[in-house]
Amino acid sequence: MSSLPLLPGYSPNKHLGKEAFHKSHHFDTSNGVTLLVGEKPGIGGETLPGQNTRPKYSVYPKGEGREQPAWVAFDKQALCFDAYFEELVPQAREETYRIRKCKIFFHLEDDTIRVVEPQSKNSGMPQGTLIRRHRIPLPPPHDDQFYNVFHFNVNQEVALYSRRFTITNCDNFTRNFITNLGVRLNEPTPSPVDPYSQLRDDKSMNPLRPYERIDTRRQFLDNDSKVLRFYGYWDDSSSLFGDVRDLVLHYFLVDDTIEIREVIAPNCGRDHVSKFLRRSKLPKLAPSGLLPPGAVTPRAVLNVFDSNQGKRFILDSLKVRFCKIFHKVNNGGNIFIFKLIQCKIYNTQIQKLMV
């Protein structure tokens, strides 16, 4: 064609038989700013020099004419791949990276991809659907094309936007489907172990303290709203301005708690505070009284204040009880020295007893 002379009647007309002469839309306006929409075809939808054709859908199936289209032949069918990606954890003492396992679903009807991460208990991370279902473009410089079924294989990496997923395995349906396409699947590879998850599993196997869980559901269902009532009195006549007070004891069967209320007579001169003991569990054996300093107890008393200050006392938090010092002399014998310091508050006299 280039050897023909440039004369009327000798130049070929490339528009012969063409019916579409529309132009592509390249520019648009958004929020008052003129934008370039992107690379578009030429007049009538023809590709310009240097442009690549963008396939609408996957190369499979190749059916034409009487064969069913993909959205009918592969309706509600999806390929499932097991994958993981590594996420960096900066400024953390327990971990420097995190292995997050997920599943990649490739829907055959429209070549859409969906990535889902199974939710783990108390993970503190947003889990669930990481990438919603849509067509995902290939990494640059092939970002004008989309992923299809031939881009997925076991034991290889797939870049979905800013994350790189490593495919470790797939289910039986996916394995049979890809094998029928003539693609050879690689051998499955195990997923790496997340160090922080392994640390949490080890801690869960060794709890801080053993405890026994008591199921009180049956007691709640059988004894709900059931209360035992007892009448009694408290003789406080030994104290100054004390007298006998009438009390009502309520025993709640639903949780074994006790509540004591005082029956206040009208015009008795006392404040109307009927709750003598709030509802709580009452210990059956009362704690023993406070022993004086120097007594042999599992926990030594270091100091006791005056009774006018509310009988405050300080206990030995180290539980060393007494100071026992053993000295050895030249003859090999032991000399036991017991030292007790007793403080008297009233006359601030200190006595030292040596045995």
Cβ atoms within 10 Å of 40's Cβ, excluding its own: 13
Contact 231, 248 (CB under 8 A): yes
pLDDT at 340: 40
pLDDT of 332: 47
State the pLDDT at residue 89: 86
pLDDT at 159: 92
What per-residue confidence (pLDDT) applies to 295? 57
Tell me where in the chain the CATH 2.30.29.170 domain(s) lie: 70-200
DSSP E strands, 256-322: 257-263, 275-280, 301-304, 313-315
Omega within 30 of 0 (cis) for the link into 61: yes
Specify the pLDDT at position 272: 78
Assigned CATH for 70-200: 2.30.29.170
Q: How much is the pLDDT for 154?
A: 92
> How is the chain split among helix, strand and coil, in percent rounded to 5?
10, 35, 55
Closest C-alpha among 55, 60, 99 to residue 79: 60
Block mean pLDDT (10 aa), the chain, length 355: 73 75 81 78 80 61 58 84 91 85 91 90 83 91 87 91 92 90 88 86 74 79 92 87 88 93 85 85 73 58 53 58 42 42 39 37
Tokens 């003859």 identify what position? 331
For the whole model, what pTM was predicted? 0.46
Q: What is the pLDDT of residue 107?
A: 92
| Tokens (6 digits) for 7 | 């004369």
